[in-house]
A and B are shown apart, each in its own frame.
Chain A
Amino acid sequence: MRRSRFPFIVTGVVLVFFYLPILILVVDSFNASRFGGAWRGFSLKWYARLFHEPAIWEAARNTLFIALLVTFVSLVLGTTSALALHRFANSRLQRGHYTLVYTPLVVPEILMGISMLMAFVAAGVELGMLTIILAHVTFCVSYVALTVLGRLQDFDFTIIEAARDLGASGWTAARRVLLPMLAPGLAAAALIAFTLSVDDFVITFFVAGPGATTLPIRVYSMIKHGATPLINALSTLLLALTFTTVLVSQRLSASGSLKSRTME
């Protein structure tokens, strides 16, 4: 019997849909023409100009700073939340907790942005980097918690008990057994939190204060008034960075799990 070509075609079409726009963007970032559409020769001038745009780098720095801090905080909070959710899965309190953790995933972003802005204003918190970080942590915690929770569901807790039997304190067991074995899940959660924070626009727009313009906000306003090829060049650099991060993290987690497997 001949194998159906259908899955092959579907995969191909999906890949084209995913990657063709990105490819066009990358190609256009080397186009000498400012308005795309027509190819007017290879040029690196947009990259050169990018390095003379302090506002963009300022925004990039803000974004990176926020994302790193958000990743760290939401990783800690999300993981502890997942541990509680897993351990006391059947208590009524934790079922309530689960609903609360789950809600930010389904609340529309615009609603979350406006309501947080109103909350900050009502509480008299000055808008700025802090409010962006708080807002990002709020939705990142949910993603981290659910990712880690998934990982915990097929975690064998008898290993912890074995460690305790062998004389490890609760803290030592958590530090030397639980966390290392959860590491791939934590890495995945951290990457999700990082990416969400880096490219969030809607919520950030509302809670950002003066002097805290992030890259997505900057890019949006540039589309209206600025030079789009600069955005293409910037996006190409970001893509390169993202792909490298993903590759590195894949290699890290692959070698990590190999190691732990051989250790077992």
Chain B
Amino acid sequence: MNKQFASRWLLAALIIAAGILSGQCGGGKKAMPVLHLYTWSDYIKPELVSRFEAANGCRVVIDTFDSNEAMYAKLKAGATGYDVITPTSYMVSLMRGQGMLQPLDPGLLPNRRHVDPEYLAIAIDREMSHSVPYMLTNSGIAYLKSKVRDFAPTWGMFGRADLKGRMVMLNDMRETIGAALKFLGFSLNSTDPAQLAQARDVVLGWKANLAKFENEQYKNGIASGEFLLVHGYSGDILQVQAENGDIAFAMPREGGAISCDDLVIARSAREVRLAHAFINFLHDPAVAAENTGFTQFLCPNRESYPLLDSSIRENPGIFLVPEIKAKCEVLADLGEKNVLYVKVWDEIKNGM
């Protein structure tokens, strides 16, 4: 009896496996070129992907990664097969230095003229020789309007003792030390040990008032009112705002960090022409506007701005006023100088 049982189960399992396998193979139509996109999850509006597929007679396969470093480690070890990737700017410079990216062909990217020149002025790859900016986010301060009295848009808010224990800063050495550097009027890519030492003392002063350094839960914390004031990314805060109308986002007047994920083509890409077409497609103004509305991050495409929803268009946390924008910087890859930050960050974490 037992044997029959076992063999029946085995048969069932095999049939299921075979069914799934045939489904897997049946899905791939042979003649169709396939573009492989390696990106963060939920980072492109699905309808736009279908539209691109229909227009170009191809299939787009999306795979996802969860951190720049993990993606880099994987590609560095030799993984291939991805065409278009969306690393953050600092990672783009690292990958470019390692010869992991292809130079872009400007002739295949007519839409690059729509890219916001104001952003390009502060970008790392200004000529767009290897990367085209995809989505921007800036880190600033989110707070509960009804609970925080006399709010002023400055990093100095973290020094307010009356909010003690109800504030959170990012657990990211570049972001948090960068905020202090900005507060002191220095560049957030500073590698001057004296400036970094001053910034360390400022952060240590703030630390006394913070509940913690944290990167993800702060969203839940401010949505539920556990935290009153948090240091966070504009894209994240916008999503929380949709749920709790009491939350406001402000960019400190000293300026802050802007980070950008860029579109790049991997050195080992097979569908180079299609990859260019895809990057070009994403910078079509109408497409860019739709994508911004979906992701809540800002695609720096100047012609798309007038097409955006007024709630995004008029949000000073996304469209920064020019004076503040001028003071914002992109976090650059510091290479060997990075250890200076690691050292200061350790001192902050261990200090009282």
> Do A and B truly interact?
yes
Does A12 count as interface, using CB distance less than 8 angstroms? no
**Which one, B21, B62, B67, B73, contacts A224 given CB within 8 A?**
B67
Asked if A210 is at the interface (CB within 8 A of a chain B CB), the reply is yes
- In the assembled complex, how far is the CB of residue B218 from the closest CB belonging to chain A, in whole angstroms? 10
Complex contact A114–B73 (CB within 8 A):
yes
Residue from the list B64, B82, B225 in contact with A217, Cβ < 8 A: B64
The verdict on B307 contacting chain A, using a C-beta distance below 8 Å, is no
- Binary flags per residue of A168-194, CB closer than 8 Å to B gives 1, else 0: 000000011001100100100000000
Bitwise, A62-89 to B at CB < 8 A (1) or not (0) is 0011001101100000000000000000
- Cβ of A99 within 8 Å of any chain B Cβ, yes or no, is no
Q: Is the C-beta of B246 less than 8 angstroms from some C-beta in chain A?
A: no
Q: Does A108 contact B (CB under 8 A)?
A: no
Query: Which residue on A lies nearest to B36, using beta carbons?
Result: A210
Q: Are A210's CB and B63's CB within 8 A?
A: yes
Tell whether, in the assembled complex, residue B41 and residue A221 are in contact, meaning their CB atoms are under 8 Å apart. Answer: yes
| Stretch of A33-41, A157-165, A239-247 lying at the B interface | A33-41
Q: Is A98 an interface residue (CB 8 A)?
A: no
Supposing A65-B21, A175-B3 touch, asked if A211 and B63 sit within 8 A by C-beta, the answer is yes
Q: Does B52 contact A (CB under 8 A)?
A: no
Q: A2-10, A137-145, A201-209: which one contacts chain B? A: A201-209
Stretch at the interface among B10-18, B146-154, B169-177: B10-18
Q: Does A259 make an interface contact (CB < 8 A)?
A: yes
The answer on a CB contact under 8 Å between B5 and A127 is no
Bits for B1-42, please: 1 = Cβ < 8 Å to A, else 0. 111011000100110110011011000000000101010111
A118 touches B243 (CB 8 A): no
Q: Within the assembled complex, what's the spacing in Å between the Cα atoms of A225 and B1?
A: 51
Is residue B66 within 8 Å, beta carbon to beta carbon, of the partner chain? yes
**Across the interface, do A65 and B36 meet the contact criterion of CB distance under 8 Å?**
no
Give the bracket for the number of chain A residues in contact with chain B: 35 or more
Establish whether residues A38 and B223, one from each chain, have CB atoms under 8 Å apart when the complex forms. Answer: yes
Least Cβ–Cβ distance between A248 and chain B, in angstroms: 11
Q: 9 tightest CB-CB pairs across the interface, nearest first?
A: A121-B78, A37-B224, A221-B64, A35-B223, A38-B224, A221-B41, A210-B36, A210-B81, A37-B220
**Structural contact, B240 and A223, CB atoms closer than 8 A:** no
Q: Are B221 and A37 touching (Cβ within 8 A)?
A: yes
Q: How far is the CA of A132 from the CA of B248 in the complex (A)?
A: 45
Nearest-Cβ distance from residue B298 to partner chain A, whole angstroms = 15
A68 near B6 (CB under 8 angstroms)?
A: no
In this complex, how many residues of chain B approach chain A with their Cβ under 8 Å: the count is: 50
0/1 interface trace, chain A 27-58, chain B, CB 8 Å (1 if under): 00000011111101000000000000011000
Rounded to whole angstroms, the CA-CA distance of A129 and B27 in the bound complex is: 15
Number of A-B contacts (CB under 8 A): 133
B42 touches which one: A37, A64, A69, A227 (CB < 8 A)?
A: A227
Note all chain B residues with C-beta closer than 8 A to A71: 13
- For the complex, give the distance between the alpha carbons of A69 and B14 in Å: 8
Partner of B77, one of A54, A61, A206, A211: A206
Q: Mark B137-157, 1 if CB is under 8 A from A, else 0.
A: 000000000000000000000
Q: Is B211 an interface residue (CB 8 A)?
A: no
Residue of B nearest to A222 (CB): B41
For the complex with contacts A183-B6, A211-B63, 11 further pairs of A-B residues with Cβ separation under 8 Å are A33-B224, A65-B20, A118-B78, A127-B79, A176-B3, A206-B77, A210-B36, A210-B38, A225-B41, A226-B42, A256-B2
Q: Who on chain A is nearest to B16 by CB? A: A68
Question: Using Cβ atoms and an 8 Å threshold, which residues of chain A touch B80?
Answer: 121, 127
Interface set, chain B 76-92, CB cutoff 8 A to A: 77-82
Q: Bound complex: CA of A40 vs CA of B224, how far in Å?
A: 10
In the complex, per-residue mask of A217-243: 1 if CB is within 8 Å of any chain B CB, else 0: 110111111110000000000000000
With A38-B223, A220-B66 as given contacts, are A259 and B17 in contact (CB-CB < 8 Å)? no
A114 to B65 CA separation, bound complex (whole angstroms): 16
Q: Least Cβ distance of B286 to chain A in Å?
A: 23
B66 contacts A224, CB within 8 Å? yes
Contact B13 A72 (CB under 8 A): yes
Asked whether A199 is an interface residue with its Cβ less than 8 Å from the other chain, the reply is no
Residues of chain A from 127 to 158 with CB closer than 8 A to chain B in the complex: 127-129
**Cβ distance A115 to chain B, nearest Cβ, rounded Å:** 9
A36-B220, A256-B5 known; A226-B239 Cβ under 8 A: no
B2 touches A180 (CB 8 A): yes
What is the minimal beta-carbon distance from B142 to any residue of chain A, in angstroms? 12
Asked whether, in the complex, the Cβ of A222 is within 8 Å of the Cβ of B42, the reply is yes
A residues near B231, Cβ cutoff 8 Å: none
8 Å CB contact of A205 from B41, B74, B216: B74
Contact A117 B81 (CB under 8 A): no
Residues of A within 8 A of B20 (CB): 61, 64-65, 68
Q: Which residues of B contact A259 (CB under 8 A)?
A: 1-2
For this complex, 26 residue pairs linking A to B, each with C-beta atoms less than 8 Å apart, are A34-B243, A35-B220, A40-B243, A55-B46, A61-B24, A68-B13, A117-B78, A117-B79, A121-B77, A126-B81, A179-B6, A180-B2, A206-B74, A206-B77, A210-B36, A210-B63, A213-B63, A221-B41, A221-B64, A221-B65, A224-B67, A225-B41, A225-B42, A252-B5, A256-B5, A259-B2
Residue ID in chain A nearest B244 by CB atoms: A35
Chain A residues, CB < 8 A from B24: 61, 65, 129
